[in-house]
Amino acid sequence: MGKTKLLFITHEMSPFLELTNISKITRQLPQAMQDKGFEIRILMPRFGSINERRNRLHEVIRLSGMNIVIGETDNPLIIKVASIPAARMQVYFLDNEDYFHRKYVFNDAKGKFYGDNDERTIFFCKGALETVKKLGWAPDIVHCHGWMSALVPAYLKTNYKDDPTFKDAKIIYSIYSDTYPETLGAEFAKKAVMKGMNASDTADYAEATHAAINKAAIKYSDGVVIGDENIDVELLNFVKKSEKTVLNYDATLDFENYYNFYQEIASDELVSVA
């Protein structure tokens, strides 16, 4: 058998962007799994605060040139890449001038939540999956980290369920305490519908709160990772009731637990991992 192919989708990763504990996990976990023989790909947004020169980002011409449609608007997608030499890993960055060329990440200089964070999220999730398709690389496992990746499980289980690139992929969603007090807006679920989908496919995202989009992502996932110690009790109870395969929080970042979890998810042995 070939190597297990593991795709990471995250909005932050050290050393490029460090907002929460997610950045530490998404830096160390892929390397640990690569060291254990997995084939790894990592995708994240190219936020304006990421210094291209310092991090040596460069455009991947063969992957760029796609347009991501949101509503009636075609939004150009530029793909850039950077390497982490010490880890022998490459990270692909999704870029768009309108959505990501800003000094701040999710809130403006006055701390106000950006009004288009809904579209930025949709663009990132759609763009990530289209980028993987263009890579011609079919993952066995897609592991989503953080709320900005919350639409990916829904897209994979609906619009991409018969796509040759993703039809056999299992989906894991990590929940964290990376919350936001605002909502992603009343139109979020409607805007998120892709061609070939129905409004019912994104209905669970309609409330657009942090709790709501996480619950929706969990619903569409095959497995859930408790990524932080201080997860909202409402979310924890939802995970428990969902009867999904769960990897519980481990303060020691025991990557052997992750390795076993991935293997069980990939082999359909869906049992709870303590």
For 263, the 3-state DSSP assignment is helix
For 248, the 3-state DSSP assignment is coil
Spatial CA neighbour of 201 closest among 214, 217, 185, 225? 217
Helices and strands (H, E) in the chain, number of each type: 9, 10
Q: What are phi and psi of 157, to 5 degrees?
A: -85, -10
> Within 10 Å of residue 254's Cβ, how many Cβ atoms?
12
For 267, the 3-state DSSP assignment is coil
Residues forming a β-bridge with 247 = 225, 273
Measuring CA to CA, how many Å separate 36 from each of 6, 46, 214, 228, 267?
Answer: 12, 28, 29, 24, 17
Tell me the pTM: 0.94
- pLDDT per residue rounded down to tens, the chain (274 residues): 578 999 999 999 999 999 999 999 999 999 999 999 999 999 999 999 998 888 899 999 999 889 999 988 899 999 999 998 788 899 999 999 999 999 999 999 999 999 999 999 999 999 999 999 999 999 999 999 999 999 999 999 999 999 999 999 999 999 998 888 889 999 999 999 988 898 999 999 999 999 999 999 999 999 999 998 889 899 999 999 998 999 999 877 779 999 999 998 988 644 434 3
The domains of the chain, with CATH numbers, are 5-266 (3.40.50.2000)
Whole-number Å distance between alpha carbons of 200 and 216: 12
Measuring CA to CA, how many Å separate 38 from each of 41, 57, 67, 263?
Answer: 10, 24, 31, 10
Q: Please say whether the beta carbons of 265 and 172 come within 8 A.
A: yes
